Amino acid sequence: MQNNKLNAGICLGLLACLILMAGCGVNGSPMGSILPDNSGGSKTGIWNNIRMFPDGGGWALTYRALLHTSDGGRHWHSATPWDSSIGAIGVIPYFVNSHVAWFIVPGNTIYVQYGKSNESQLARSYRTTDGGATWQSGKIPGTVSTYSDAKSGAGAVGEAVKHLVAQGETRHYININSLMALDAQSAWISVGQTYIHTGGGQEDIHPESNRILHSTDGGRNWNLLVEDKPDAQNRVAGTHIYFVNSILGIQSGKTPLGIEISHDGGKSWHEEELPLPKLKVFSLPTTNQEESVFFNERDGIIPVYMLVGRSYKLFYYTTHDGAQSWQVGTLSNDLADQPQVTYLDSQHWMILQKAVILKTNDDGVQWTSAVPQLPGKAVINSNFILANEGWAIVSNVDHFDANTSGLDSSTSLLQTKDGGKTWQIMSYQVA
């Protein structure tokens, strides 16, 4: 099993606004748009994420579109529930299986001037149960960011003239922190709001609120479970959200080694601390706590990347009693930024980097390493469905910019059938 959430942490500004302005469609209607002709080598743009499943079905998120395959990646078709000419900037996916997937398309930012503003577009959820042939969508309340400058009103939308704000820029920025789905009906999202003011030689940034919303009807409606404000103690400020079942929820990423636990489906939360690793020197400020991954209702893991000396180490916190207790282990190898990790089950994990592939068959107690024969310059994303069969996306350029991101040739799709020792560039068709 692998973490099904592929967080596309890209800027959510005006490009996200354009995404939402594209046709959102009618619930249950076919939404897959036809990709443009491959003139100039820009049919899909760079490939960012891939998620494959044992039945041969899978998903890929590219610069321009969402793709779906039913034959192990040899043929792909657009399953994009928005206008693919706009792209996939800021889209947050969660893949349940080869047929069921959820997406959040962020809301826009409205420019407020003297109590009036441009038209707001709420964030939307999309859910499919048939591999992207049809989609159900719904609006997510309270997901429009606001922006005002020195000549603008105080930020409220209405017909009345508002008092002028102080010189500078003021933003109330909405961010969809996390999306997690149990099945085709039940999903949770974490939504944060941040106040940002710059001007007059000063800068003020502080969180205003964090909310958790839940849908039980496939994303058609979203209901507020809990809201955390600076003067409240509801504890919903985590970056990543994960539900083991309809009752037990875990949030990670709020603090370097702190997690939040819910035993009532996300209505209330309490804080717990993960045990400190046994190190003489480490840096909590540079600790990056990732999303939880559970293999059943008892066995789970939280990966934590920590700067030790001048290199990053992987610390893995495992539980075998449903998050009641946690044990910490460490990988001795130094890691590059954003290593690609696959969890096949609670015992078998794989870490793929350009220069090395690491494997454990015993819950991280012992690791083996090998040098993969891997084309390309760097690994962007990878996914194994079996110990010997996997896929990877590699970059063919030194860096991505506005030009290289739109070119199909900037990335390659690879496949291995010998556990990652050798990789072949896949030939595929996109329609």
From edge to edge, which strands make up the β-sheet containing 202-215?
116-117, 109-113, 145-148, 169-181, 187-199, 202-215, 223-228
Per-residue pLDDT tens digits of the chain, which is 431 residues long = 555 654 433 333 333 333 333 333 334 544 444 454 444 455 899 999 999 999 999 999 999 899 999 999 999 999 999 766 667 778 999 999 999 999 999 988 888 776 666 778 899 999 999 999 999 999 999 999 988 875 544 544 444 445 554 567 888 999 999 999 999 999 999 999 999 988 877 788 888 888 999 999 999 999 999 998 876 565 555 689 999 999 999 998 877 788 999 999 999 999 999 998 876 655 566 778 888 999 999 999 999 888 777 777 888 999 999 999 999 998 877 776 667 899 999 999 999 988 899 999 998 999 999 999 999 999 999 999 999 999 999 999 999 998 899 899 999 999 999 999 999 999 999 98
Cβ-Cβ contacts under 8 Å for 49 (sequence gap 6 or more): 6, 8, 59, 60, 61, 93, 381, 393
Would you say residue 136 lies in a domain? yes
Q: Is the Cβ–Cβ distance between 152 and 123 less than 8 Å?
A: no
Q: What is the pLDDT of residue 29?
A: 40
CA distances from 121 to 17, 45, 136, 145 (A): 7, 26, 17, 10
Q: What is the pLDDT of residue 282?
A: 58
Q: What is the pLDDT of residue 334?
A: 76
What is the count of structural domains for the chain? 1
| DSSP assignment string, 308-332 | ETTEEEEEEEEESSSSS--EEEEEE
What pTM value is reported for the model?
A: 0.84
Q: Which of 295, 313, 291, 294 is nearest to 303 (CA)?
A: 291
Would you say residue 275 lies in a domain? no
How many residues belong to the chain?
431
In whole angstroms, give the CA distance from residue 253 to residue 234: 16
Would you say residue 182 lies in a domain? yes
Q: What is the pLDDT of residue 345?
A: 94
Would you say residue 145 lies in a domain? yes
Provide the 8-state DSSP code for 422. B
Q: Is the Cβ–Cβ distance between 152 and 169 less than 8 Å?
A: no
Helix %, strand %, coil % of the chain (to 5): 5, 45, 50
Joined tokens for residue 331: 């990988």
Would you say residue 280 lies in a domain? no
Range of the domain at 119: 4-8+80-237
In whole angstroms, give the CA distance from residue 57 to residue 73: 8
In whole angstroms, give the CA distance from residue 94 to residue 125: 11
In whole angstroms, give the CA distance from residue 356 to residue 354: 6
Provide the 8-state DSSP code for 276. P
Q: Is the Cβ–Cβ distance between 143 and 123 less than 8 Å?
A: yes
Q: Is the Cβ–Cβ distance between 66 and 48 less than 8 Å?
A: no
Would you say residue 359 lies in a domain? no
Would you say residue 272 lies in a domain? no
Would you say residue 354 lies in a domain? no
- Between strands 293-294 and 300-308, the pairing is antiparallel
Q: What is the pLDDT of residue 159?
A: 47
- Give burial (CB, 10 Å; 0-12/13-18/19+) of 209: buried
